[in-house]
Structures are given as structure tokens and as C-alpha cells.
Structure 1
Amino acid sequence: MAPSPSKCSRPDAVTGVLPVDALYEILLPLPAKDLCRLRAVSRAWRSLLFDPQFIAAHGARHPGPLVVAGHPTPAGRRNDVRLYIMDFRGCIVKRFHVPGDAEHKGTHQVLASQGGLVCISSDLGSRCRLLDPATGAVSTLPAGLAEEHAAAHGTDIGQYWAAVVCGKVAATGEHKVLRVLEGMRGYYPGHIPEPLCEVLTLDGGGGGFARSRGKQTSPDPVRARGETSSAVVDGIVYLFVDDLAPHHIAGSKRVASFDLGTEEWRRTLQGP
């Protein structure tokens, strides 16, 4: 049965030989990439294809994961970040321009999106922002160490590489960030800052974060420098154990796991 014109919030905007309800039914089954090209046919077609109700109906008929891609764009003394949300057909669904930090000239890295948020990292992971694609709101993680860590170790976050992972706790709906810190060499002769672990909770109402909370480190060292592979499933963070850690078995992969709900490390998983 053909949908009534009321399914399009602007039926009067589409004119031509075909009635709007017929055009609606013809275009709805097409892939998103083809629809992007058809926007150039006329203003009337563009109006229909940008109609929120048409977009919602098309999304319901063509479910599938989206891909987040980004790159830094030099803008004066800052490095702005441009993000693109795409489907697997290569169609850009949405674009974002995240202004850079005026005090930071280094490059940014777009990390894996977890729990519906996109993580933008810089300064070796010590500085981090979260973007909500639904609203465009950007939240900045506190740059310093947790109070208990700063007091106990007398160091600053600039002496660490940081692996940052964002996930959602299913039971509470909270978004939390796990930050694993690995000490750098060279600050003091013969001294390497010991590994640290911190958790932050995103304040959904205010858009900010609760203060960092120092936690026990992983029972097996987690690599925070360089490329860090991570995943979040049902509120559990999974991270590869450092290949250079003691007792590592050559050719094997061990996976550390952290429960965002209880904020505790779980048993390390042994790979092949």
C-alpha cells in the first residue's frame, strides 16, 4: 500500500509528473549513496530527500552500522578536527567541525566511537574530548591526574602516555571513560613513573565530567603508547596486554578486561 503524502512533512515541496507518494515509494528502497546523488536532480527532490520523516523511514528500512572518520585541519595556530559519519556505502550522513584548542598545536587523533560518543585525543592521549553526534555537544576531559595520584606520586600527566576508552554502562546508562597511563622514560635518570588507571563519569546534564577517580592498575600491564587496540562490549573494556610485559608468551595475545560498572579489573583473557 502506498504511503499517504502525510508521511512526508513537506509534500507540497515536491512537484513534477509523479505524485509525491509515488516518488516517496520509488526513492525509499534506494541505497543512501544513490540518494545523495539524486539530491542534485532538482530543488524539489533535494527537499524530499532532506525531509526528516523521509530520512527516518529510510534509516528504518536500511539499518546498518555507521563509520566515523576524521582528520585534523590546520586553522591558524589551532588544529581543528573535521569528522564525517558515513554508512558502509560511502555516503556521508553528517559532518562535524570541532574547533581546535588554542593552547595546543599538536595533532589530534580520532579514536574508536563507543557508546554513541566519538573520542578525539591529543597530546599522547593526555588531552581528550568527547563528541555527541546526536547533539553536537563536545565535552572535555580534565587534563590533570586524579587528586590521589597527583598527591601520592608527585608527577603530572605530561610524564605519561595515555590510552583512553569510552563506554556505556548498560545498567545505569552512564557514559564512563577509562584512562590507562603508562610512564615515559627519560624524565629522571633510572626512573619510570609507575602505571596508573583512572575512571571518569560523564555528567549527562551538565555536559562535563566528575573528577577523575584513581583505580588499581591492571594485573597485567596494558600498552598505552602507540596504537592501542580496544573494544567495549556490554560495559566491559577489552585492551591488549603489553607485548613487552614480563612473562609474555611470544606469539600469543592476552587481553585485559575492565568492568565500567564495578570499576574493577577482571581476569585477564589468554589468547592462542
Structure 2
Amino acid sequence: MASSSNLSHAASVPDTGAPALPPDALFEVLLRLPAKDLCRLRAVCLSWRALISDPHFAAEHKSRHTEPLFALTFRDGDIRGVAIVSLSGQILRRIRIASDRIELLLTHLDRLCDEFVGICIERRFNWGSALRHNCKTVTYAFGQVASTGDYKVLRISHPDRSQSLLCDINTLDGSSQGRWRRKQNPPSNLTRDQIMECLAVNGAVYFLFDYAVMEPTSIAPFDLDTEKWMPTLWGPEPLRSAKFGLYSGRVLSLANLNGSLVIVDNDAGVSFDLWFLVDHKRGLWVKKYRLSMKHLGYLVYPLLILDDGRIVIFEMVERLLKCYDPTTDNLADVLDIRAMGLAESQSIGVYTGSLLI
């Protein structure tokens, strides 16, 4: 809870002549309001601004308002940026970004990162460290170290197919310029000629190996804390001999579902299976969900598991958020992104931060 001094100051509304609310009563009243309304109430007076912006108040408000938030790229005429939206369809904030192309990295954090220019959007939605690079192909991953809370950007660059892949890391400290540190080169059989399939989960970044040179489910993990590559992680046994790729119509991808690394097995026209990593050391995976492809299109991505067990899925072509209920095998549209006026929104991330800070 905010300090008593903050509450005492915030309890009085200047120039109204109205009696001051008891501090605890005001605190409780403001906690019940949506974040979008509270942002407007900052203009009432300096004391209200101080209370609403207090980290303790923001944390308490976040604990009471648990509706999931998503970050979406958008274009409105010549204006490009990122919008923070709720599952109920409210646009809570728009952040304008001066860039010709924006592609959010898929995260589950209180910060966001743009893949193509490698720029971090700070928790306060200001541009953070400029992390640009001029190599031919660059893959970025963005994650947080569990032990320290540090945010780090990992960069794998592909100067040329005849050269070794390069690995650099940057710790974000809120300064205007990021400093890259060269690390051990990645495994040589990672994909070289395109942006790689990768994801940060629980302090590690996971890269899918190239199907052509490794088992299709094999993964190269990088520890963001020690900043070292870890031994190859092997995927689920039932998938290791399967044929994947564009010609087979079967595609693998990675997802972060509420802090669990998930392999998504999208067998086009048949099924959509979610394999959860339950024991990293033993390489143990469990298939927890199978969705029929009659419900889904080809380009779909699972984002989040709600408290009631439903899975939020992003359908990229139609730009729809859908909820799958495993108890009834029912899939329902919950949010039409195009209807919200967020044109050309092709990338999305789960945002876990507070709009008040």
C-alpha cells in the first residue's frame, strides 16, 4: 500500500470546498477504477498524481485488475506504433513509434521489444536503448533474468553463410545507448539464412535448430544469467521422427504459456498439439492439449492460458483473438483486432506491466 504521507496528501482535493476523504477510503475508491480512468485522474491535482503513480498503489491495482493485456502493432495512416489493449476490446494506450516497420517480439513481460530495429520499449513506454545492427540477417530475443530482474536482449547475427554465427548480448539499464558484449558463438547448425524461431522463457532463450541438419524438435538453449549456451534440449520423443517443413504442411513453433516453454505442433488440416516442458534436466515433455484444425486457420499462435483454463490464441491472417475451451472443445472469437481500427496488426505480445507507472 502507498505510504500514509502520500495518502494524506492525496485525500484533499484543492479548490473545491468539499470535505477531504479519509486516506484509506480514497485509496480504496481509486483502486476500484480502471487504469484508463486513473490515468485521466492524474490531472486532478499533484497529490492525486503522486498517489496514482506510486509503485505500491500500482502493484495493488494490478493485483485487483487481472484482465489480460496485449500489445499490438498498428498503423493508422502514416502513424505507426504499439497499442495496449484488453481482452474485452478496450484500447488502453497508444504509443507512437518513429519506424517504418515494427514487429514485436513475443514476450510475457512488463516490457516490449521490437524485432526489426532491436529497440526496447521501456516499462514507461519510452524508447529505451537503441540496439541497431547492420548484419545481413539478425535474430533478436528479449528476456529477463529471474535472479536479478535484469532485462537482456540477445542478438544472433548472420554476416554470411560462409562465416560463423555471432552472438552478442546487451543488458538494458535505461540508458540511451546499449552496449553489446560478444559471447560464445552459437551452435553452427542453427538456421543461417532467415530469422530464427526463438523465445525467452524463465531466464533462458530457446532456439529451434534447422530441420535440415538436426532432429526437428531439437532446441539450443542460452542461459541469460550465466550468458552461456547450454546443452541441446531434445523435444518430445513422438515428434522426433516426424516430417516437418513447408512441403509436409507440418510446422513446429515455440510458445510461452504462463511461464512454460511449449512446442506447438501444427499439423495443417489435422491437429494443433501443445507439448509442455515439465522437466528441463530430464528433457520431459507432456502433451496437455490437442485442438482440432477444423477450428483454426494455418497461421495461429497460442498466447496465454486464462484462470478458467481457456487458451487465448492469435489467428494471424484474420487478426482475431480466440479462446479455446478444452472442457467443451469449443473455440470462440473474443476480439476482432481489425474492428478496433488497428490496421495491419501482424504481431502481438502479452503485456504484464501496469499502465499506471
Q: Distance in 2 between matches of 1:7 and 1:170?
A: 36
Report the alpha carbon displacement of residue 260 of structure 1 after superposing the two structures with TM.
Answer: 1.9
Q: Is the 8 A contact 1:239 1:257 kept in 2?
A: yes
Larger radius of gyration: 1
Q: Distance in 2 between matches of 1:20 and 1:246?
A: 68
Is residue 157 of structure 2 the alignment partner of residue 181 of structure 1? Answer: yes
When residues 256 and 224 of structure 1 are mapped into structure 2, their CA distance, relative to the original with a 3 A threshold, is farther
Hey, what does 1:198 align to over in structure 2? Answer: 167
Is residue 226 of structure 2 the alignment partner of residue 236 of structure 1? Answer: no
When residues 5 and 267 of structure 1 are mapped into structure 2, their CA distance, relative to the original with a 3 A threshold, is closer
Hey, what does 1:257 align to over in structure 2? Answer: 221
Report the secondary structure of 1:110's partner residue: coil
Is residue 115 of structure 2 the alignment partner of residue 112 of structure 1? Answer: no
Query: Cα deviation per residue 1:72-125 (whole Å; 9 max; x = unaligned)?
Result: 4564xxxx532223454444444322223xxxxx52212234664321132xxx
Among candidates 136, 151, 156, match of residue 126 of structure 2:
136
TM-score with structure 1 setting the length: 0.61
Which structure has more relative contact order (CA 8 Å, sep 6+)? It is: 2
Is residue 139 of structure 2 the alignment partner of residue 163 of structure 1? Answer: yes
Q: Is the 8 A contact 2:86 2:92 kept in 1?
A: yes
Q: Is the 8 A contact 2:144 2:152 kept in 1?
A: yes
Hey, what does 1:11 align to over in structure 2? Answer: 12
Report the secondary structure of 1:53's partner residue: helix
Q: Distance in 1 between matches of 2:226 and 2:204?
A: 10
TM-score with structure 2 setting the length: 0.49
Q: Is the 8 A contact 1:241 1:254 kept in 2?
A: yes
Superposition RMSD on alpha carbons, in Å? 4.2
When residues 93 and 55 of structure 1 are mapped into structure 2, their CA distance, relative to the original with a 3 A threshold, is farther
Is residue 194 of structure 2 the alignment partner of residue 225 of structure 1? Answer: yes
Report the alpha carbon displacement of residue 130 of structure 1 after superposing the two structures with TM.
Answer: 1.4
Number of aligned residue pairs: 225
When residues 31 and 107 of structure 1 are mapped into structure 2, their CA distance, relative to the original with a 3 A threshold, is closer
Q: How does 1:33-72 map to 2 (within 5 A)?
A: 35=37, 47=44, 51-54=49-52, 57=57, 59-63=59-63, 64=66, 66-72=69-75
Identity fraction in percent: 24
Q: Distance in 1 between matches of 2:28 and 2:178?
A: 45
The one-letter code of the counterpart of 1:271 is G
Report the alpha carbon displacement of residue 232 of structure 1 after superposing the two structures with TM.
Answer: 2.8
Report the alpha carbon displacement of residue 60 of structure 1 after superposing the two structures with TM.
Answer: 0.7
Structure 1 or 2: more strand by fraction: 2
Is residue 234 of structure 2 the alignment partner of residue 270 of structure 1? Answer: yes
Structure 1 or 2: more helix by fraction: 1
Report the alpha carbon displacement of residue 230 of structure 1 after superposing the two structures with TM.
Answer: 1.0
When residues 91 and 208 of structure 1 are mapped into structure 2, their CA distance, relative to the original with a 3 A threshold, is same
When residues 263 and 70 of structure 1 are mapped into structure 2, their CA distance, relative to the original with a 3 A threshold, is same
Report the secondary structure of 1:60's partner residue: helix
Hey, what does 2:115 align to over in structure 1? Answer: 121
The one-letter code of the counterpart of 2:123 is P
Report the secondary structure of 1:138's partner residue: coil
Report the secondary structure of 1:256's partner residue: strand
